[in-house]
Structure 1
Amino acid sequence: MRGKSWGAVVALHLGLVAVLFALNFVLPVYHQGVLARVMVLAVYAIGYNIAFGYTGLLSLGHAMFFAAGLYGAGLMGLHFGMAAVPAWAFGTGAGALLALVVGALALRTAGVSFMIVTLMFAQAVYLTILYFGDITHGDDGFVVPSVSRTLAGIDLSQQHPRYLVGWALFSAALLFSLWLVRAPFGRVLVAIRENEERARLLGYDTGARKLGALVISGTISAASGAAYGLLFGYVGASFAGVQYSIFALLWVLLGGAGTVLGPFVGTLFMFYLIDLATEVTDAYMLIAGVVLVGLTLFAPQGIVGEVRRRLWRDLP
């Protein structure tokens, strides 16, 4: 990527970060809350994109990493009264450890087998949550105590602090993703996605790099889950269900797999599509489905992917 073009790319991403910061002070309360939720969940999608979009690892079990962060942070607050930052760090670390263990086992397979194995691991995590209902509160879930939703005396359940923390986490994840795709490690991941055998012949340890990508992906996803629990105050088993793995895949595909901005655009688009459709009819999923099918047919590379293909080929 040429220096001038890279400068424009950096300016675009920093511009998005600046716009999102400014929106905190001008958006109505409802849209401010929606955008805060979108930014936190977009971090989850960014994590998924590193595994799927850049490395070609199609996982159907990423909800387990999100849930590891969610429950790791939430349970530390519920049972031990842990403060926000250490609870978030614990949840993020739990997701990183889970990703390391799952990756070491699941990456012994490839393709469809990898999809099935990750799905089975995720189901095992979901069933574990239900089995230990005395600790996790099972299907009912639980409310995160206020002691874990306070940062330096600031109540994170309030609209402005919640938005700013979500913005900070999203900005860090976005800029890290932008750095990663330009770094040598990120370029090797793309080479593995395109032709793993050729990357191996060039001397790269593709197994170690795929494991590294999955651990990075799981850690970012867990950081999103931990932040979600602390900022929005609820932890429930539904977040560990297979549908939350499908959501991440859907957000990435809609925005553009293998693009830095795609996860955010896809998450934002999906949230507002459903929000607007509910105002029209109770059969809102029918409208959402028709729009999604149309996008799949006419923008197969996703929204940002099509922008890259048609207008800006250097867009990462």
Structure 2
Amino acid sequence: MTGLMKPGALHVGVALLLLAANFLLPEYHHGAMARVLTLAVFAMGYNVMFGYAGLLSLGHALFFAAGLYGMGLPMQHLGLAAEPAFLLGIFSGALVAAVVGALALRTAGVAFMIVTLMFAQAGYLTILYFLEYTRGDEGFVIAREARTVFGLDLAAPEVRYLAAWLLFTVAMFVVLALVRSPAGRVLVAIRENEERARMLGYDVARYKLGAIVVSGALCGAAGAAYGLLFGYVGATFASVQYSILPLLWVLLGGAGTVLGPLLGATFMFYLIDLSSGITDAYMLIAGAALVALTLFAPAGLLGELRRRACPWLP
């Protein structure tokens, strides 16, 4: 199999394996993996911006929350159906990302991180301020009867898993197509040497903004899907924690790899899940594992595999 065919075959194989898991996993892991697949899309959105464009953001919770509330508020207060509400969530994530990106790209480096963090905090405080509509930290539940797409009940475990799988699969192949396209190659060039890319005639600012908008759309899709699949919309998802988590997932799995976010999100979820069953200080175990990975696999799990054995991994 040629180097050009291997990535496609690998990602098709992963999609089929995850589809088979729907019929094989026990009840608890079936529900857990539906959650992981949805959050992995969130991490994939972050990876487009950080792993491929080299833009370190501390404000991605804003894009996730934009999708979550962009979907949830119209359903809760206007009675909008799930299908258009989901599309509105994606649009909200992309729109917020475009506005934030246009302003944040006036800075660079540490200043860029701080600006994205400030925007995310402003979004979080806005949710708390408009308590009458958002219910603040308490959040609100989306009624089960409203969570139907094309007649399918998204609250049913089998349908929920398949919906999460479909979302992840579409996002995975969109990202794979992007990173293998000429635009994706330009993003990598900008990440590696921005000045050289600019000297070659590329509009660096336009490509960066494009990466941020794509990232926001993926994060918005993850947020909208999370609200529909699990029936809850709350300000917690706009907090700093949800800006740090996708960064950790990407670093664990391997920044600049298509499947790294899935691997990182799965590893972190089950690490915390298993360690919390051993001790109340489960974050200490998770922290020790993160330190060990940083020391012995600095490129992340999939990144180290690519470096050592599989250079063809996208």
Same fold (TM over 0.5): yes
SS of the residue corresponding to residue 4 of structure 2 reads helix
Q: Distance in 2 between matches of 1:147 and 1:188?
A: 45
The match for 1:279 is 277
Q: 1:42 aligns with which of 29, 40, 43?
A: 40
Q: Distance in 2 between matches of 1:85 and 1:147?
A: 13
SS of the residue corresponding to residue 24 of structure 2 reads coil
Deviation per residue, 1:194-241 (Å, 9 max, x gap): 001000000000000100000000110000000000000111101000
Deviation at 1:281, TM superposition (A): 1.2
The match for 1:93 is 91
The match for 1:201 is 199
Q: 1:160 aligns with which of 148, 158, 161?
A: 158
Q: 1:291 aligns with which of 289, 292, 311?
A: 289
TM-score by length of 2: 0.99
SS of the residue corresponding to residue 3 of structure 2 reads helix
Does 2:46 align with 1:52? Answer: no
On the 8 A contact 2:82/2:146 being kept in 1, the answer is yes
Deviation at 1:147, TM superposition (A): 4.0
On the 8 A contact 1:156/1:162 being kept in 2, the answer is yes
Runs of 4+ in 1 over 3 A off after TM superposition: none
Deviation at 1:85, TM superposition (A): 1.0
Q: Distance in 2 between matches of 1:147 and 1:35?
A: 23
Matched letter for residue 285 of structure 1: M
The match for 1:187 is 185
Q: Distance in 1 between matches of 2:214 and 2:102?
A: 13
Q: Distance in 2 between matches of 1:148 and 1:222?
A: 19
Q: 1:241 aligns with which of 239, 242, 248?
A: 239
SS of the residue corresponding to residue 306 of structure 2 reads helix
Does 2:134 align with 1:144? Answer: no
The match for 2:175 is 177
Unaligned runs of 5+ in 1: none
The match for 1:214 is 212
On the 8 A contact 1:192/1:206 being kept in 2, the answer is yes
Deviates more, 1:209-218 or 1:137-146: 137-146
The match for 1:115 is 113
Deviation per residue, 1:98-138 (Å, 9 max, x gap): 11111110000000000000000000000000000000001
Q: Distance in 2 between matches of 1:270 and 1:101?
A: 31
Matched letter for residue 46 of structure 1: M
Deviation at 1:306, TM superposition (A): 0.4
Q: 1:232 aligns with which of 225, 230, 233?
A: 230
On the 8 A contact 1:83/1:147 being kept in 2, the answer is no
On the 8 A contact 1:77/1:147 being kept in 2, the answer is no
The match for 1:23 is 21
Matched letter for residue 151 of structure 2: G
Q: Distance in 1 between matches of 2:260 and 2:283?
A: 22
Q: Distance in 2 between matches of 1:313 and 1:154?
A: 41
On the 8 A contact 2:53/2:211 being kept in 1, the answer is yes
Deviates more, 1:140-149 or 1:29-38: 140-149
Deviation at 1:145, TM superposition (A): 2.2
The match for 1:307 is 305
On the 8 A contact 1:48/1:249 being kept in 2, the answer is yes
Residues 121-136 of structure 1 mapped to structure 2, 5 A cutoff: 121-136=119-134
On the 8 A contact 1:149/1:155 being kept in 2, the answer is yes
Matched letter for residue 255 of structure 1: G
Q: Distance in 2 between matches of 1:197 and 1:283?
A: 46
SS of the residue corresponding to residue 280 of structure 2 reads coil
Let me know the Cα RMSD of the aligned residues: 0.8
Q: Distance in 2 between matches of 1:168 and 1:209?
A: 28
The match for 1:76 is 74
The match for 2:103 is 105
Deviates more, 1:137-146 or 1:302-311: 137-146
TM-score by length of 1: 0.98
Deviation at 1:146, TM superposition (A): 2.6
The match for 1:254 is 252
Q: Distance in 2 between matches of 1:55 and 1:148?
A: 38
Q: Distance in 2 between matches of 1:144 and 1:238?
A: 16
Matched letter for residue 315 of structure 1: L
Matched letter for residue 239 of structure 1: F
